[in-house]
Amino acid sequence: MLMTMMMMMQAVHTDVDSLGAVLKADPSVAVFLANPVMDAEKKKATIKKIAAEAGFSTFTTNFLLLLVDKQRIDAATEICSSFEEMYCKITDTQVATVKSAVKLEQEQQFMIAKKLQELTGAKNIKLKPVIDEALIAGFIVEYGSSQIDLSVKGQLDRITAELSTAKLA
């Protein structure tokens, strides 16, 4: 029974991640769904289309349709965020943001996640990659209240700070 619940929760988590990505990638979808003047049936049709294309579980699809019926679909983004927080807490997952100058390969992300797992002792690590070309090269990992800066920009900033303090001495 517990295994079945965990599998369902994992499926819903995957759906929520996908929905969050859709809402973030195309803000017009969130605006459309939140519009109180828009017909509920059109909103439901949109949700069903997204759900079918993304392969959402029945639980997720029915929940989203219920949000439309209860006129709460405008809270979908906040619900996705709250679900993510609860899911991470239940599964002992540490969320970390990885900023890099270029897109990291899957193997690189795996290595970073593995090292973070060792450092934090977390059961699972979920990386959220962000591209920041200002870093020049390398990456910055932010998790909890900690940060690991292995970027060229960070190294240049540290060198500049050291030279500035050396001049003053």
Residues 40 and 80 in one domain: yes
pLDDT in tens, 89-116: 888 888 889 999 899 899 999 999 998 8
Kindly tell me the burial class for residue 74, based on how many C-beta atoms sit within 10 Å of its own C-beta (0-12, 13-18, 19 or more).
Answer: middle
Domain region containing 119: 92-168
Do 25 and 75 have their domain in common? yes
Do residues 8 and 66 share a domain?
yes
- Residue 169 confidence class, pLDDT cut points 50, 70, 90: low
Q: What is the pLDDT of residues 114-152, one digit of tens each?
A: 988 888 888 888 888 889 888 888 889 998 888 889 888
Together in a domain, 110 and 125? yes
For 36-57, write each residue's pLDDT tens digit: 999 999 999 999 999 999 999 9
> What values do phi and psi take at 97, rounded to 5?
-100, 130
The count of domains in the chain is 2
Residues 70 and 139 in one domain: no
- pTM comes to 0.68
For residue 5, pLDDT beyond 80 = no
Picking from 87, 115, 142, the residue at the C-terminal end of a domain is 87
Same domain, 152 and 108: yes
d(CA 169, CA 150): 27
